[in-house]
Amino acid sequence: MYPVTDTLQRPLRDLRISVTDRCNMRCTYCMPREAFGKNFVFLQRAELLGFEEITRLARLFVGLGVRKLRLSGGEPLLRHGVERLIEQLARLEDDRGRPVEVALTTNGTLLAAKAHSLKDAGLTRLTVSLDALSAEVFRKMSDSGVAVGRVLDGIAAAQAVGLAPVKVNTVVKRGVNEGEILPLVRHFRLSGVILRFIEFMDVGTTNGWRLDDVVTAQEILERIDRAHPLRPVDPNYVGEVAKRWAFVDGGGEIGVIASVTQAFCHECTRLRLSTDGRLYTCLFANEGYDLRSPLRGGEGDQHLRERVVALWSRRGDRYSQLRHDATALPVKKIEMSYIGG
Ligand code: SF4
């Protein structure tokens, strides 16, 4: 039955699961306060997939070839009892009895208190978003009063419990935090943390994206290479989103995620499940496929599986490759905070 491939022969390998649409920060490139202010109506509890529902669907996806499950949000650590879900997912195995990878992307604000329980629950990979070390720049990017130290404490706690290598994602926005690139590199070099710089993306329709605000991967690498010479490193696997670079002096590794200037759609193996049970075949999709209704309507696994196979088989998304061809692009795009990055 698998691997299930789409119209561009890309296999279904990764499932990103959003477990909440809520967040305790308002990062300007993801959840700008103007759009997600105090009157914004978030999903109600009954609308969210329960942990048993998520696990049942995840088991079904693993049966179709998915090898990595990544939990995201909003902020996934806001979802009460998320460790219980991780325990359930960590028990899933592929057809050769190998456990699937269970990863999580967090803003790190709740991580220091939860690192232990996440590790004990079976989490295998952790990514923390951190866009600056300077308090002022961090405030500008996150539009929140959270202290940078809280996120750094979370990263240290995750490393201490063995959730290594911790990856740190930094979205770079021109005129706001490109000055943080070298301070972040200096802070995390030699620490075992893998720092990844992300080109500012036109996700959703609320973050005011302009191409002029994009600091390109090439600019980022040149800036780092001048201070700390780099050499390219082969990908860990086909479809790895970040391009890997290592410090020539052995100081560790960094990555760049260049969706704007070096599109990687040709290797995209990711499907996204929203917290209310809709499937999205691309981060820049404009509509999702409702799986919650048939699931709650009592449909059996075989029929649910056929729905997923049919959806993926007709998939042709390659938004980033088409980004510069305005005629080929959807006008309304789903918000990243709803389906996870
Ligand atoms: S733009 Fe869409 S198809 Fe391309 S890599 Fe991103 S999620 Fe995949």
pTM higher than the cut 0.85:
yes
CA of 316 to the centre of ligand 1 (A): 10
Helices (H), the chain: 51-62, 82-90, 111-121, 135-142, 148-160, 181-188, 217-227, 292-296, 301-313, 319-322, 336-339
User: Domains in the chain, please, with CATH?
Assistant: 14-339 (3.20.20.70)
- Using most ligand atoms within 8 A of CB, pick from 318, 323, 324 the residue to mutate for ligand 1: 318
CA of 186 to the centre of ligand 1 (A): 31
Query: Looking at residue 80, what is its pLDDT?
Result: 97
> Is the shortest distance between the CB of 265 and ligand 1 below 6 Å?
yes
Q: Is 225 exposed, middle or buried (0-12, 13-18, 19+ CB in 10 A)?
A: middle
Q: Please identify every stretch of the chain with a pLDDT value under 70, giving residue numbers as ranges.
A: 1-2, 326-331
Query: Looking at residue 268, what is its pLDDT?
Result: 96
pLDDT (tens digit, 9 = 90+) per residue, 292-332?
Answer: 999 999 999 999 999 999 999 999 999 999 887 755 666 68
Mean pLDDT value across the chain: 95
Query: Looking at residue 2, what is its pLDDT?
Result: 60
CA of 57 to the centre of ligand 1 (A): 22
Ligand 1 atom 3: residue of nearest CA = 318
Query: Looking at residue 323, what is its pLDDT?
Result: 87
What are residue 14's DSSP bridge partners?
A: 68, 270
Query: Looking at residue 340, what is its pLDDT?
Result: 85
